[in-house]
């Protein structure tokens, strides 16, 4: 299993670097041609690459065969890719504003492309929830004639989001501005909040899926504030908004999409999350300092990549023999549990299987990793029991 993850991770890395934004699954089943995927090279590009190849795509592999694989892949493209590309564009413009005050406003055209791509990836995420294709490196989007989630407990997502996503993808006449883009995303944010409130708790509180939905919802809301702030053209306030956006986004990706908080919740321990949040805080602090110092792009990239290193170190704490780590143990346990499930089908059948079989299986698997009432692990013991830094997670 670990060899499988390593091989797919290497493939994902190649795809990511070729696409330059968000890792992904190459599936294009039922897709219509779309504009080639674009990206923005900026201070966070190495961070994006690392998150995709080391965390998000391995999680997609571990959940393969279920709608969650497509959801994780689309979060990789939409949040780690498109949203952080918007951050990259504004970060670059803040740097340029030192000699060109109009640079921040001038980033609107580039950001519009990323906003439209974000809308396309979120549309594809809805399709993947119903057992359809995942997001992919080409930017292709599955053609849909109606709500793929109609008649299911997740129908509100399609009902609320699809009309706005289509409008954003279609674009508008005239030259875009940061204010107009913020207005588009504000409509999307309102729709997402409305839909989220109508979803069953079995979806919003579930490991991985709940984290993905919360991450997308929070990211869109933060992007609205970011673009509204940037529209004023002030580099200092824009930098602060960039830091807030990045902090929230990375915490959600690393603690909620990757179900670290779900694992910790039963033990009351913060052994994994504390080092991660500290590293993210350091990274965003360095981002702000770097943008204000006029440092070169290569220097900023190197600085932020180094700041992310403690996150990977935390996730890769040894948890057993044979080189197993916290992350690989989690992924291998999920793979084993989910690979034993029957195929989920498509449409309503896929959603039913997701809510009634896949999500309970993941919840039970996380509990079994820690031992306790399900007596998980080898011989009924917690898999982290003999690991000094992780044993506090055991029930």
CA–CA gap between residue 51 and residue 185 (Å, rounded): 24
CA dist 295 to 217, 226, 307, Å?
32, 22, 16
Express the helix, strand and coil content of the chain in percent, nearest 5 each: 70, 0, 30
CB 387 within 8 A of CB 317: yes
Beta bridge partners of 141: 32
Cβ atoms within 10 Å of 316's Cβ, excluding its own: 15
- Kindly list the averaged pLDDT for each block of 10 residues, start to end, along the chain of length 395: 34 35 34 63 97 97 96 98 98 95 96 96 96 90 91 97 95 87 98 98 96 98 98 97 98 97 84 95 97 92 97 86 83 94 89 96 89 47 78 78
- Smallest Cα–Cα separation from 230: which of 90, 97, 114? 90
Q: How many Å apart are CA 180 and CA 192, to the nearest integer?
A: 19
Which helix (H) or strand (E) element contains residue 141? strand 141-142
> Is 57 in contact with 8 (CB distance < 8 Å)?
yes
* Whole-number pLDDT of residue 374: 38
User: What pLDDT score was predicted for residue 287?
Assistant: 97
Torsion of CA 382, 383, 389, 391, to 10 degrees: 10
Q: 142: part of which helix (H) or strand (E)?
A: strand 141-142
| Other C-beta atoms lying within 10 Å of the C-beta of residue 261 | 18
Q: Measured at the alpha carbon of residue 146, what is the angle toward residues 140 and 147, in degrees to the nearest 5?
A: 90
Looking at residue 178, its pLDDT comes to 98
Locate all alpha helices (DSSP H) within the chain, ordered by sequence. Answer: 2-19, 45-51, 57-62, 67-75, 84-96, 108-129, 155-170, 178-198, 201-204, 209-230, 235-252, 260-265, 273-293, 297-315, 326-339, 348-353, 359-370
Crossing angle of helices 297-315/84-96, nearest 10°? 150
Res 395: pLDDT: 65
DSSP states of 307-339 as a string? HHHHHHHHHT-B-SGGG-BHHHHHHHHHHHHHH
pTM of the model: 0.89
């Amino acid at each position: 299993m670990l060899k499988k993850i390593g091989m797919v991770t290497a493939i994902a890395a190649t795809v990511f670097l070729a696409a330059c934004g968000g890792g992904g699954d190459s599936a294009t089943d039922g897709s219509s041609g779309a504009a080639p995927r674009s990206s923005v090279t900026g201070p966070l590009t190495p961070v994006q690459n690392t998150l995709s190849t080391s965390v998000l795509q391995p999680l997609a592999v571990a959940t393969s065969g279920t709608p969650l694989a497509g959801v994780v892949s689309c979060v990789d493209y939409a949040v780690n890719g498109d949203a952080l590309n918007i951050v990259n564009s504004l970060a670059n413009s803040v740097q340029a504003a030192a000699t060109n005050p109009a640079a921040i406003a001038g980033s609107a055209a580039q950001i519009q492309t990323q906003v439209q791509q974000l809308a396309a990836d979120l549309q594809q995420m809805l399709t993947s929830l119903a057992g359809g294709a995942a997001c992919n490196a080409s930017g292709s989007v599955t053609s849909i004639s109606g709500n793929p989630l109609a008649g299911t407990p997740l129908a509100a997502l399609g009902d609320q989001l699809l009309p706005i996503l289509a409008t954003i993808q279609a674009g508008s006449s005239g030259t875009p501005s940061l204010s107009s883009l913020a207005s588009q995303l504000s409509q999307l944010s309102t729709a997402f909040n409305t839909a989220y409130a109508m979803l069953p708790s079995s979806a919003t509180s579930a490991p991985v899926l709940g984290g993905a939905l919360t991450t997308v919802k929070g990211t869109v809301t933060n992007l609205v504030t970011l673009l509204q702030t940037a529209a004023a053209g002030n580099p200092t306030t824009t930098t602060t908004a960039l830091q807030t956006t990045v902090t929230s986004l990375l915490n959600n990706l690393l603690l909620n999409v990757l179900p670290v908080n779900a694992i910790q919740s039963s033990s009351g321990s913060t052994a994994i999350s504390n080092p991660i949040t500290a590293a993210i805080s350091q990274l965003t602090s360095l981002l702000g300092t770097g943008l204000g110092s006029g440092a070169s792009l290569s220097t900023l990239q190197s600085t932020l990549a180094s700041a992310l290193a403690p996150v990977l170190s935390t996730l890769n704490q040894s948890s057993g023999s044979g080189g197993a780590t916290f992350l690989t143990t989690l992924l291998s346990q999920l793979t084993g549990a989910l690979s034993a499930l029957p195929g989920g089908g498509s449409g309503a059948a896929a959603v039913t299987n997701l809510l009634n079989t896949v999500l309970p299986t993941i919840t039970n698997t996380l509990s079994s990793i820690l031992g306790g009432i399900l007596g998980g692990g080898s011989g009924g013991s917690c898999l982290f029991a003999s690991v000094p830094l992780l044993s506090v997670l055991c029930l």
